[in-house]
Structures are given as C-alpha cells and as structure tokens.
Amino acid sequence: MALEIKFGTDGWRGIIGWDFTFENVRRTAQALADYINENAPAEEKGKSPKIFVGFDCRFMSDMFAADIASILRSNKLDVILSDRPVSSPVAACLSLNKFWLSVMVTASHNPAQYNGIKIKLAGGAASERVTKDLEELLGQNSVLFLYGQKAEQKDLTDIYLKYVSSHVNMKKLKNFKGKVAMDYMHGAAAGYLERILPAKQVIALRANRDTTFGGGQPEPVEKNLIDLKKTVVAKKAALGIAFDGDGDRLALIDEKGNYLTPCLIAAVLCNYFIKNKKLKGKIVQTVSMGYLLKRIARKHEMLFEEVPVGFKHIAEIMALEEVAFGVEESGGFAWKGNLPDRDGLTVALAFLEVMAVTGKKASELCAQIAQEYGSSVYLRRDISLTKPLDKASFTDKIRKKLPKKINNRKVAELLTFDGLKILFDNDEWLLLRPSGTEPVLRIYAESASKKDTQSLLDFGEKLVTPFINK
C-alpha cells in the first residue's frame, strides 16, 4: 500500500501494516540512499559514506531496520546495523562524528501500533530542508535490494555512554547518594542509567521489552506515571525519572511524588547553568513552552526566541548561532557543549548533578524558581480528531473569531507560525495547535494558578469545538 510518506516534526510515522509497511519503508530507504549519494561531502564521495542504522523495541523494528540497511548496502554505502535496540540519542551521537548520517526505526512515544523513521545528521534531527529533499526523491528510482547485501552488526552503545559521561560532572554525581526510581516504559533506553550510576541506587520499573508497552503508551506525561509516583514515595527515592519509547525525552517526579512540568525542569537547569557555569548565548524554545525561560532571559539580558514545535527547529538554530539552551515542551532539552538534540539520559544526569551540587531536593529547586521568577502552572489538553487538521486554515479561522479579551485578560500578542498562541500582558498564554504527527488538537496554557490555567483550557476548547471533527 504505497500511501503518502510525509516527515513531520520529528520523522515519518505510520501505523504498522497500514501505511508503515515494508513496501513504504523500502521506498524510503531507496530515497535515502539516493539523497546520501547526491549530498555526501566531496571528501566522502568514492569512499562510501558511513551510515548507522538503529532501531527501538517496537514490533518488527529490527526487521524494518535490517531491510533499510540492506538497501543502503545495495546502493554501495558503508553501513553498520545495530545488533540490539538502542535509543535515538545513540543514533544522534554516532552521527556527530563517527557516521555521516544515522537512521532510527522508531515511533518515539506513539502507541504500539505505530512505527516510524527518524534521520539524524551532525548530532541532531535532520532539518526540514533535508526531509523535503528526501520526500521529493521518493519513487524516482526503483528500490535496489540485492540478495546477500546484509550489513555488519555491532553494539555501539558504549560510544554514546562514554560521550554522555564526559559531558556531565561525574565527580559531583558521586556525591549524590539518594535512590532514583527509573521508569523505562519498556523502551529502548532500558538499563542505561545503571551503566552510569551504581546499580544499587536505581529502582528500575518497566525495564523489560514489551512491544505492546503494557497496553499503554510510552509517553512520559503525568497520566502515564502513576506507578512511578507511587514508587518514589514508597521507596523514599530522591527523584523519579521516566524515558519515552526511544529515550530522547524524559519526565521527572520530585521526592514528594509531584510531576515536574517541562517548564520547571528547563528553568531549574537553565538557571543553574547560567549562574554556576556562566552559560551565555540565546535561549530558544518551541512555541508550546512557557514563560519561565522568557523571564530568565529577561533577567540575565539574554536573547530569547520561540520556534515551531519539533526539536529540529532548535537544532537548526544551534548549528548556526550561539545558543545557550534549547527546549521543547514534550521533554526534550539541549544546551551548549552537548548534542544539539534531545537526550533523556543527559538531562536526567544534569538534574541529579544540580541536586548534588546545591544539596537541595527536587521540590526545593522548583520552589526556588517560583520565588525568583514567579509561579508556573502549565497544563495541556489533547482532543482526538477523526482526521488531521490543516494547520494554516485552522489558525486563520480561529484568529478571526478571537475576542479582544479572554477571561478578563487583555490579548497582548498573537503568534501564528505554528497554530495560534495568545499572549497576555502578564506573560500568561494559551496555545491552540494541531499536532504535526498525529490526528490530535493540543490546547496548552500557563498561568500562576491551576484554576486560571484550567479556565484558559476550557475557553480554548470551547473556541475550537465548532472547527473540529472529533
């Protein structure tokens, strides 16, 4: 079934057996081979650029990856295929200096019936320009799949773990003596934390491979972390950590069992790096993030920019400008000196480092942020759709129906480059945004209280209801 293949905010995703089929994966692999052979740097031509192919724990990910590797090999490319499931940060790390490009078979946080493909270049997600070029090459050449072209298989995880260890302060981490509850969500990063911290400090949950993800979804959002919250409190852990299905995103739970929003995690890390490590440069966040980083940038006289959702937009700016810190709301963080891509393990270790250096508990670090930059209650509401919405058309229709005041707040500014973000005079905001990878409409809001944030979400849902097909 040769359905349309489109790369969204982070790769192409589809339902296994419907649009994510062997036929479509092979078409994509051939287009990728054509792209590589056309775009490999001059010094690589004639030398066969090195390509890494990895895969996660999903149903048949290893088989899809093997086909991709064989097709790249058939097109005279030098390929290493992982011999085990790996996280997406492994593929990103390998693309930084060991391989010209990495391919990951993964659908990240999506439900079990999904699979997908991510492309990593120069340590980060392939830019929109690259994925558009790749889409244009689809179907231009017949798939070259020669018999016997199997790729060499290796475990290259150690290269990534050494990289991570060299980019956190391991001496300071040794001062951290508390227990950590680690929810791997049956994902590809299972066991990674125990290879950095003493295993006796780690309480591992859902570390086994389960292609159904226990009947749930490997997305580290609060509603999926009930067991992790209970474990943190019951075992008196200092911190709870959860990775998504491919290990590039994370969530944190404080010692009291409270979920920490990405806004709070980003503020704690960014504030620490600026004050303790003299981090300089621009702060960049996706449009779905909140006002804490804006206030941090304002206080420290740093440039601040918002970009469309998708870490690739942050990675592009990091490659071209001096970016101190970049973050997206789904749990992806990066900062100067590290991979220009999301990496759950590095973020987890950095947060533990902050706790070790300051001697503060996770809840105390968040309280300090609230005292310095104001309270933040950030919530998201997802509305399932029968089919995806045209983002530009939806945004235009909603903008025309927008009143000048919302819940007694005066509208100060509108951002329309990725859905409609409504900003108020006091930095509080509401965002209405169709997803770029799923048939979902997301409504986000942030204010100083839960009651006000909920009321903004309610207003947003009422506003969009006439324009959507549930």
Q: Does 289 lie in the same domain as 210?
A: no
Residue 163 CB coordination number (10 Å): 21
62 lies in the same domain as 107: yes
CATH number for 67 = 3.40.120.10
Q: Is 45's pLDDT higher than 60?
A: no
- Residue located via tokens 């490997």: 218
Contact 131, 119 (CB under 8 A): yes
Rg (CA), the chain: 22
Give the chain's mean pLDDT. 94
Q: What is the mean pLDDT of residues 37-50?
A: 75
What phi and psi, each to the nearest 5 degrees, are found at residue 108? 55, -115
Which tens digits make up the pLDDT trace of 291-305? 999 999 999 999 999
Does residue 65 have a pLDDT over 70? Answer: yes
Residues 253 and 271 in one domain: no
Res. 46 pLDDT band, cuts 50 70 90: low
**272 plus 251 within the same structural domain:** no
Least confident of 40-54, 123-137, 186-200: 40-54
Q: Higher confidence at residue 10 or residue 416?
A: 416
What percentage of the chain carries pLDDT values higher than 90? Answer: 85
Q: Of the residues 352, 373, 394, which one is the last residue of a structural domain? A: 373
Q: Give the whole-angstrom CA distance, residue 394 versus residue 390.
A: 6
Task: Give me the pLDDT at residue 319, please.
Answer: 85
Position 4, amino acid: E
Pairing of strands 429-434, 332-335: unpaired
Residue 6 inside a domain? The answer is no
Determine the average pLDDT of the residues in 415-428: 95
Strand bridging mode 114-121 / 124-125: antiparallel
Task: Give residue-wise pLDDT tens across range 252-285.
Answer: 999 999 999 999 999 999 999 999 999 999 999 9
Q: pLDDT digit string (tens) for 341-362?
A: 999 999 999 999 999 999 999 9
Total domains in the chain come to 4
Give the end of a domain, one of 345, 373, 401.
373
Domain match, 266 and 230 both: no
pLDDT at 43: 57
Higher pLDDT pick, 47 / 228: 228
Both tokens of 196, joined, read 């950095």
Domain range for residue 325? 262-373
State residue 47's pLDDT score.
72
**Same-domain check for residues 18 and 135:** yes
Residue 153 falls inside a structural domain: yes
pLDDT of residue 467: 87
- Residue 2 resides in a domain: no
Q: What pLDDT shows up at residue 206?
A: 98
Same domain (yes/no): 382, 369: no
Same domain (yes/no): 136, 220 = no
Distance CA 239, CA 210 (A): 25
Mean pLDDT, residues 106-114: 95
In a shared domain, residues 369 and 445: no
pLDDT class for 1, splitting at 50, 70, 90?
very low
Q: Mark whether 382 and 435 lie in a shared domain.
A: yes
The answer to whether residue 3 sits within a structural domain is no
Last residue of a domain, one of 239, 257, 275: 257
For residues 246 and 273, state if they share a domain.
no
Please give the average per-residue pLDDT across 76-97, as a whole number.
Answer: 96
More confident residue, 168 or 1: 168
- Dist. CA 224–CA 226, nearest whole Å: 6
- Residue 316 has a pLDDT of 87
Q: Judge whether residue 223 has pLDDT over 90.
A: yes
Domain contains 5:
no
Local confidence band at 44 (pLDDT 50, 70, 90 cut-offs) = low
Supply the pTM of this predicted model: 0.92
Give the pLDDT confidence score for residue 240 in this predicted structure.
98
Task: Assess whether 267 and 349 both reside in one domain.
Answer: yes
Asked whether residue 168 is assigned to any structural domain, the reply reads no
Going by pLDDT thresholds of 50, 70 and 90, the confidence category of residue 437 is low
What CATH number is associated with residue 462? 3.30.310.50
